[in-house]
Amino acid sequence: MTQLSSCPDNDQLLLLLDEKLSGVSEIQLVQHLDHCLRCQSRLEALVNKSGREVIPAMSQSPSLPAIWHLAGNGHRSPSENGLPVRDENAFQQIENSFPGESTGLRLLERIGQGGMGVVLKAHDLALERPVAVKFISPQLAEDPAARQRFLREARAAAGITHSQVVTIHSVNDRQPFPFFTMEWIDGLPLNGWLDGNRLLETETLIDIGCQLARGLAAAHDGGVIHRDIKPENILLDSRSGQVKITDFGLARVMDEYRLTHTDVFLGSPGFQAPESLETVDSVDQRSDLFSLGCVLYFLCAKVPPFEHPSLIRSLQHAARGIYRPLREVAPRTPASLERVIVQLLRPDPKERFPDAREVERQLQSCLRSVIPPPVSPRPAQDSLSLKVRTRQGSRIDQRPNAWRWPAWGLLLVGALAPVFFLLGNLFAGGALAERQEASVNRDLPGQRRVEPVEDTRVQATAFSGKHKEMKRATRISKDPLMPFVLEVADQEPTGFRTLNGAIAAAGDGATIRVDSSERFEFYQPITVPHGIRLLAAESRRPIFDVYLAGNETEDEEDPDHEMEDDDNGDGEGLLAFLQLQGRTTIRGIDFQLHPVEEIECGLIQTDAPLVAEDCGFSVPSEGIALVSQSEVDLEFVGCRFQVPAGLAIGGEADQEGQATFRNCLIAGDVVLRLATESPFRVLMENCTCFSNRFAELFPGIDFEEEFLGEPFSGGTSFFQFDVQHSVLCTREGLLVLEADDGLFQRQHRRFLGWKGEGNLLVDPGVILWHEDGYEEMDEISWCQGLATWKKKFVEVDSLTDPAPFRESLESLYVKLENRQGLSGKALELKEELKSGAGFCPESTDRISSSVD
């Protein structure tokens, strides 16, 4: 057969690809392709022109799951439950050649397969217990060097005895497949476990980090480096809840095999230290620390920091330290933990922590900072890190980063209140505020008051007949130990030691004055069966710290239930601190909710009209409902809400309701969440609202349309929303109305009064979301001007967690910057934002004085 004298043209090549050439021509062409480099690449180019988009995975480094799938290794790609995909052939080979019970083992089931080995569950006949057996993979077994290395690494790893390391029982050099046995762990690899239980609490996560660091420290002490720390190699024992590291050193077997057999480096993208790209020997214990950092990042963010289908590319990113900031991906991550992870992920090993023990120490201190101690003794006053005095002293002294979470320096500047207050650090390591009133309660230096539980219960149950006696028995006036002063017309004020005591003694409409600026701790919900006025005494600023744990005792002896017999039991499902059953006024009190467990709880639940003036409501990031229940009239004046999950209003009442917000600051991922079955009206005047989540799921104001019932009488609107002179700063939009059936478009849109005079709406002011996509309406109109804005900045500084709201402001700046043709106030505002007003804590003084 003769060879082609010249290169074929494109048509010829295409015909070849489509198998349309005659046998002889095809053979000639193929022979030509054997050595014509130019035609080889032409052929590729021809196909790639059409196939580029189809098979991107193949033009670069392929993504592993796609490859598994493609290779026909099982129908579902790997790790349905975190276990590697199996190559049943490998199992078959191993099972067929297994010597049998002479080894003391009976093979039970196939578990999984990794790069270098195959794992089966087996029964240890002598000790009568399950064990895991790892065989070298048939492919590697053919290489004597790999076999030796496999056995050597297994023996080295067998020397590690630690509760966080999977124990190796025996190492067995059998032909054809050497194996070793390990303890059997009932559980799943971390990645598999995460698939099913997606939410890892921060504490759990840090605890896992500590355990891993301990396990690594033990291994490193014994001179063993893991080399391939990744979620697949970390087992979570479902019995003990402990994590155990497996496959110590075995990655090396694979590395060396690959280095000698192919020039392709393969490993676990996403978790490998950059130095592992160099030589096998450039890896040391700090490489494991890098991988540990990747695992921690993965646990927080659910994606590895360097996730690229190409291992090389991901290692390049690792080498340059290119990854998305953790708190951008997982905003819930505490800053202290992020700092540890950042240091672990340093490209230069010298900049990481020196050893695993140090990592554990660092993680332990993170752990301490995230667990709020509900009943721990307060630190002495000389550990103050934040000092604020009252206005006369007018000196605000803050740590530069005191506003950053979790150092919750909380400085509240009431929109109406003429006094600055400090709510101290909530954490054990933090400080207690120095207070003007400290002298009043000298007998309780640096301590919080705890609302005694027993006392609460007794008095609440004794309420019905005995309150007169109790009143007499506890009548003491002006005693700092009796800060709850009950005022009844024509009677001497009566002091009570506990709020519950005062409430129990009060009649309908009575006034209880809180004559203290203490922090009070509450551990039980309080039901107020009638109207009260709960007011802070003149120039007093009490703080109610509410710690609510599960209410498992609800069914028995719960007096609340007897009292609300005629109620329809709306409250089920919500454990609220104050359960209000009569018309209530609250003034000048700051409430802070600290759920003890992750339970559904809130601060206030009301079935009756409520007025709150100059109050602070703060719930932690776990996102617990703050105010809820019934379409009654709610009025908030000069209140500050820090409510990540927003204010929930809703219920099943059969009357029209209304919520009014005046001079309020509402900060949260959702501003308002409305689920009302009756017509409802929201009025907002002079308010500032920040929400910072993706609008699609967490709009500034969320309607749960499925709960909308009857329209207002004489109208077609279920819901009215009027905003006047307010700043509504939301990340992606104020309103998202999901209107599958066109409900909002047809009936609601025109009743939304949000375009009222004097509002500042951060664009895209409104997103209407309906069938055919998004409709954005850019609306910016202007409020009173910069004075207002400056005031808002100060308020932002007063939030427990201002960072997200600063981000809102920053994104506002970016939006303004990108907007063409800014003029007048908008331009001024942009300049103001640019010059940093409100962004740096140091400017607080300046701004606050200008507000005064």
Partner 1 sequence: MDATRASLLVRIREASDGEAWGSFSRIYGPIIYQFGKRLGMQEADAADLVQDVLNEVNRSIGRFEYDPLIGRFRSWLFKIAHRAAIRMRKKEHRVHAAVLEPTARQLADEVVDPFDQESIWETEYQRELLAWAAERVRNQVSPRTWTAFWRTAAEGEKPQQVAAELGLSPGAVYVAKNRVTKRLAEKIREVDDTA
Site for partner 1 in 628-657 (CB under 8 A): 628-630, 644-652
Residues 723-762 contacting partner 1, CB under 8 A: 738
d(CA 802, CA 690): 10
d(CA 494, CA 389): 31
542 interacts with partner 1 by CB under 8 A: no
800 interacts with partner 1 by CB under 8 A: no
704 interacts with partner 1 by CB under 8 A: yes
Residue 599 C-beta: closest distance to partner 1, Å: 7
Query: Residues 284-303 vs partner 1: string with x where CB under 8 A?
Result: ------------------x-
Stretch that binds partner 1, among 43-51, 157-165, 314-322, 530-538 (CB under 8 A): 43-51
Residue 83 C-beta: closest distance to partner 1, Å: 15
C-beta closer to partner 1: residue 17 or 481: 17
19 interacts with partner 1 by CB under 8 A: yes
Residue 70 C-beta: closest distance to partner 1, Å: 5
55 class by beta-carbon count within 10 Å (0-12 exposed, 13-18 middle, 19+ buried): middle
3 interacts with partner 1 by CB under 8 A: no
What string of H, E and C letters represents the secondary structure of 354-371? Answer: CCHHHHHHHHHHHHHHHC
Residues 194-253 contacting partner 1, CB under 8 A: 195-196, 198-199
53 interacts with partner 1 by CB under 8 A: yes
d(CA 370, CA 209): 14
C-beta closer to partner 1: residue 440 or 743: 743
708 class by beta-carbon count within 10 Å (0-12 exposed, 13-18 middle, 19+ buried): buried
Stretch that binds partner 1, among 60-68, 180-188, 414-422, 427-435 (CB under 8 A): 60-68
In which element (H, E) is residue 299 found? helix 285-301
C-beta closer to partner 1: residue 50 or 818: 50
Query: Residues 160-199 vs partner 1: string with x where CB under 8 A?
Result: -----------------------------------xx-xx
446 class by beta-carbon count within 10 Å (0-12 exposed, 13-18 middle, 19+ buried): middle
Contact 580/567 with Cβ under 8 angstroms? no
808 interacts with partner 1 by CB under 8 A: no
Nearest CA-CA partner of 642 in 335, 423, 337, 396: 423
669 interacts with partner 1 by CB under 8 A: yes
C-beta closer to partner 1: residue 443 or 572: 572
262 interacts with partner 1 by CB under 8 A: yes
67 interacts with partner 1 by CB under 8 A: yes
56 interacts with partner 1 by CB under 8 A: yes
DSSP state of 56: H
66 interacts with partner 1 by CB under 8 A: yes
C-beta closer to partner 1: residue 297 or 353: 297
Residue 742 C-beta: closest distance to partner 1, Å: 14
Count of residues near partner 1 by CB under 8 A: 89
Residues 555-584 contacting partner 1, CB under 8 A: 570, 572-574
Residue 352 C-beta: closest distance to partner 1, Å: 27
Half-sphere exposure of 111 (CA within 13 A, CB side): 22
In which element (H, E) is residue 311 found? helix 311-320
Contact 402/409 with Cβ under 8 angstroms? yes
694 interacts with partner 1 by CB under 8 A: yes
CB atoms within 10 A of CB 397: 12
Q: Which of 9, 10, 24, 70 binds partner 1 (CB under 8 A)?
A: 70
Residue 676 C-beta: closest distance to partner 1, Å: 8
Q: Which of 265, 707, 712, 782 binds partner 1 (CB under 8 A)?
A: 707
Instruction: Tell me how far CA of residue 656 lies from CA of 429, 580, 652, in angstroms.
Output: 48, 19, 11
- For 118-165, give the DSSP string: EEEEEEETTTTEEEEEEEEPHHHHT-HHHHHHHHHHHHHHHT---TTB
Work out whether strand 243-245 and strand 387-388 pair parallel, antiparallel, or are unpaired.
Answer: unpaired
C-beta closer to partner 1: residue 104 or 623: 623
C-beta closer to partner 1: residue 266 or 375: 266
C-beta closer to partner 1: residue 284 or 570: 570
Residue 500 C-beta: closest distance to partner 1, Å: 24
In which element (H, E) is residue 208 found? helix 202-221
Stretch that binds partner 1, among 367-375, 502-510, 600-608, 680-688 (CB under 8 A): 600-608
In which element (H, E) is residue 193 found? helix 190-196
Nearest CA-CA partner of 7 in 35, 34, 32, 43: 32
C-beta closer to partner 1: residue 383 or 568: 568
C-beta closer to partner 1: residue 714 or 773: 773
121 interacts with partner 1 by CB under 8 A: no
51 interacts with partner 1 by CB under 8 A: yes
C-beta closer to partner 1: residue 29 or 486: 29
CB atoms within 10 A of CB 457: 14
Tokens for 839, please give them.
């962004």
417 interacts with partner 1 by CB under 8 A: no
Residue 673 C-beta: closest distance to partner 1, Å: 5
Q: In one letter, which amino acid is 58?
A: M
Query: Residues 670-689 vs partner 1: string with x where CB under 8 A?
Result: x--x-x-x------------
Stretch that binds partner 1, among 83-91, 144-152, 502-510, 766-774 (CB under 8 A): 766-774
d(CA 303, CA 314): 13
CA torsion angle for 664, 665, 670, 676 (degrees, to 10)?
-10
547 interacts with partner 1 by CB under 8 A: no
d(CA 690, CA 729): 5
Contact 368/814 with Cβ under 8 angstroms? no
Residue keyed to tokens 């490993």: 267
